[in-house]
Amino acid sequence: MTKKDIIQKLDLDGYVQRFENFFARVKPVAMHGDINQHYRHIKALSVLEFPEPSEVPNLDSELARIKKQAILGLDEIYSFVKIIQYFNNLKAIELPEPTASWIGEIEIPLEIMTILGYFNDQGKINPEIDSQLYDIQRAIKSNKSAIKDGLYQVVRSPKLKDYLADSQIHFLNGEETLLVRGGFNQAIKATVVGRSSGGFFYIIPQKISALKDREAQLVTEEEEVYYRYSKSISAIFYTWERFLAYINREYDRFDHYQARVNFAKAYEYEFILPSKKSGVKLDSFAHPAIDDPVPVTIGLDSSVMLITGVNAGGKTMLLKSILSAVYMSKYLLPFRCNSAKTEVGHYKHIEAVIDDPQSVKNDISTFAGRMVEFAKLFKSRDTIVGVDEIELGTDSDEAATLFRVMLEELRKRNITFVVTTHHKRLASLMGADNDVTLIAALYDEERRVPTYTFLQGSIGKSYAFETAQRYGVPAKIIDDAKVIYGEDKENLNELIERSTSLEREMRSKIAKLDDEMKNIEKKKQYLFDEEERLKEEHRKAIATLENRYNAATKRAREALKVKESTEGRRLLNKAHKFKDQNQKKPIEQEKVALKVGETIKYRSHRGELLAIRGDSATIEVDGLKMRVPLDQIKRTSALQKISKPSKKRARVSVEKNSASVSIKLLGMYGDEAIDAVDKFISDGLVNGLHEIQIIHGTGGGILSKLVTEYLKSHPKIGKFYRMNGNLGVTIVEL
């Protein structure tokens, strides 16, 4: 099937004609090349204001003549000039990627750039660059003025007054003439160039004829200058024939892009890039042939879609909508839809078996024509096919069985079908297949009109009697038809209708449950955020108590400096009260045991739990290992509250003997060790000790370095030194 045929069958001919009006020159709608690259250029240009391209004709024949060293006319040369000038204009714009790189790679040869300066805006050689042409055109202008003045002088001549049919100047075959009566030759010498229907003569006075001859001579000289330029430029074009073919091709490519961008902006359409997988998912799709359409939201994720239901209810238009979406996305043509939720798969071919193929001339029936169409499909692959009224032209029961077998066989060739039918047998035969989607066109029983909406997963009733009555068939005829139709058939239709109603009710309840679930999720998120807010407030309260403790400690040290030992002890005790308040356990929460290897959340970061040691844990966040309090981490699910244990206290062991006291820092982190030493020295000063020992070990020397830097800055340290024979212990004199 040709592209023109499929466009007409899908009612896209008006849409395509509107689109083609945006082209700068006539060309096929389809683009060749990488569709993903085309899509990136279109999206880049969609956010940019760029100049409208110049209208130019197709130049394939001109390029063929250039290859043969033919001489082009100035109008043909100017068409190439307009293309090159347009790309020059694009180069002056700040273009987004990838378009900027593409246009930037187009290098225009210097000889071609020089030719651009030969032409004015009217496509003629600019006389300012050629003195001979300038003089000729001035002479032509002066001669035309002389002709005009001469004619008016003849018209006003008293001798010719009685012979003039009117006082106007008439143009006959491009010549200025006067209209006179017979006998004019007694008053003026002139040449007759024509005769009017009234018997008058069109004449050119003899004195004007001389000026006309002069004008013809000047025009010939002008044409000779133009020919000289045409010959010279054509020779240059022959040298750069490959560049001209390239720039002509790139102009078509950009023309494809700009036409699509401007078309989409004009009609508020969206672009859908075909996905590699098959299937169609439309959301709020509107077929461009319908003026006030009911938006279609439908999904085709199986190899067969069977559409049943009410007559004149939109079944055929749904079929055309699905195939139209595939066609438009295949050629990157924009259309109206919700692009965020619309997905269209890629199909190599699109076929539409829609029209009645019956032909008296070819002695072929409707059903035979359908068989011819289906026979062609057995040679096709990767195709989406729309079949309207599939049992058309033969017994529906026999056709249902035949088409079931054919559809099952053709599906093996990766062919997807969208089928409409008024008969239920095919739908019932194939409905149990998981790779078949049933769609029912819905009918409004109260208003007795189709709704042009569709229900997925159900078989629809045709409502033939109701449709006939809606279009004017007398009610008595319809009642008689129902009696003949029989109660069993009517009962079957009632069951189908009831099934459809139950399906719609079920889907309504599911939608309601989905809304309730969304509300519950929102409430869960609110509680989670509230928990995070309370934890943040608690953290800030702890920080406030820490600041109070540090301030009290500082005041105690200042008191000790002036030997106010009693006051110093009181302030230190007060500071330790703040510290104790800080270390009180928060309100017990539901305890949830964390396991090594679990994914956890620490503040706003996600990481992995590597180890648990007492009230702290070792975690890895973004490749960085760190040790943090256990109460500050939790599971990422945030579905359970996690108990928050008390903050870890530094383990300080004080060993007293007759000469000294000691503190062990082994196994502590840097900040933890310095806090312990600070408190230990304060206690030693309060208790009147003169010498203490800090056991930090040797290891990597990090603790030793931190302790040394701290002791250097302490105001109450007399001196400190390493123990002889044991560099892992520092002696401090207070």
Q: Write out the DSSP string of 542-589.
A: HHHHHHHHHHHHHHHHHHHHTT-HHHHHHHHHHHHHHHHHHTS-----
E strands present in 144-215: 170-172, 175-180, 190-195, 201-205
pLDDT in tens, 76-96: 999 999 999 999 999 999 999
pLDDT in tens, 466-509: 556 656 677 677 677 666 656 555 555 555 555 655 665 676 78
Answer with the residue of higher pLDDT: 564 or 103.
103
User: Is the separation of the CB atoms in 334 and 328 below 8 Å?
Assistant: yes
**For the range 157-163, what are the long-range contacts, defined as Cβ-Cβ under 8 Å and sequence gap of 24 or more?**
157/187, 157/188, 159/187, 159/188, 160/184, 160/187, 160/188, 162/187, 163/187, 163/188
The two structure tokens encoding residue 172:
């006959």
Burial status of residue 81 (CB atoms within 10 A of its CB: 0-12, 13-18, 19 or more): buried
Judge whether residue 395 has pLDDT over 80: no
Instruction: Determine the pLDDT at residue 589.
Output: 43
Interhelix angle 74-91/241-267, nearest 10 degrees: 60
E strands present in 214-364: 280-285, 296-300, 304-309, 343-344, 349-353
Mean pLDDT of the chain: 82
Percent with pLDDT over 70 in the chain: 79
Say if strands 383-387 and 349-353 run parallel, antiparallel, or are unpaired.
Answer: parallel
Answer with the residue of higher pLDDT: 358 or 82.
82
Answer with the residue of higher pLDDT: 358 or 386.
386
What is the dihedral angle through the alpha carbons of 674, 678, 679, 682, rounded to the nearest 10 degrees?
Answer: 170
Judge whether residue 637 has pLDDT over 70: no
The two structure tokens encoding residue 393:
């032209």
Domain residue spans in the chain?
3-109+240-267, 128-226, 280-485, 586-646, 655-733
Judge whether residue 413 has pLDDT over 80: yes
pLDDT in tens, 177-203: 899 998 888 888 888 989 998 889 998
Q: What is the three-class DSSP state of 709?
A: helix
Residues with Cβ within 8 Å of 314's Cβ and at least 6 positions away in sequence, in order, are: 294, 441, 450, 452, 454
Other CB atoms closer than 10 Å to residue 614's CB: what's the count? 9
The two structure tokens encoding residue 439:
């769609």
Q: Tell me which amino acid residue 189 is.
A: K
User: Is the separation of the CB atoms in 616 and 627 below 8 Å?
Assistant: yes
Confidence class for position 366, pLDDT limits 50, 70, 90: low
Answer with the residue of higher pLDDT: 264 or 410.
264
Judge whether residue 462 has pLDDT over 70: no
Answer with the residue of higher pLDDT: 462 or 291.
291
What is the dihedral angle through the alpha carbons of 585, 588, 593, 599, rounded to the nearest 10 degrees?
Answer: -80
Confidence class for position 576, pLDDT limits 50, 70, 90: low
Confidence class for position 22, pLDDT limits 50, 70, 90: very high
Average pLDDT over residues 387-399: 72
DSSP character for 72? P
Of the candidates 115, 54, 379, the one whose C-alpha atom is nearest the C-alpha of residue 238 is 115
C-alpha span between 327 and 297 (Å, rounded) = 18
Answer with the residue of higher pLDDT: 637 or 171.
171
**CA terminus-to-terminus distance, the chain:** 101
Fold designation for 128-226: MutS, DNA mismatch repair protein; Chain A, domain 3 (1.10.1420)
Looking at 3.30.1370.110, 3.20.20.20, 2.40.50.100, 3.40.50.10540, the CATH number of the domain 655-733 comes to 3.30.1370.110
Q: What is the three-class DSSP state of 348?
A: coil
Judge whether residue 640 has pLDDT over 80: no
Q: How many helices (H) and strands (E) does the chain have?
A: 20, 23
Angle at 122 between CA 120 and CA 127, to 5 degrees: 40
User: Is the separation of the CB atoms in 731 and 723 below 8 Å?
Assistant: yes
DSSP character for 470? H
What is the CATH class of 280-485?
alpha beta
C-alpha span between 155 and 169 (Å, rounded) = 9
C-alpha span between 20 and 256 (Å, rounded) = 10
Instruction: Determine the pLDDT at residue 329.
Output: 95
Question: Which residue stretches of 361-456 are H helix?
Answer: 366-377, 396-411, 424-430
- Architecture of the domain spanning 586-646: Roll (2.30)
Answer with the residue of higher pLDDT: 283 or 368.
283
Across 248-273, b (16+ Cβ under 10 Å) vs e yields bebbbebbbbbbbbbbbeeeebebbb
The two most distant CA atoms of the chain are separated, in Å, by: 158
Q: Tell me which amino acid residue 25 is.
A: R
Q: Give, in order, the Cα–Cα distances in Å from 269 to each of 15, 112, 263, 288, 338.
A: 12, 39, 8, 10, 10
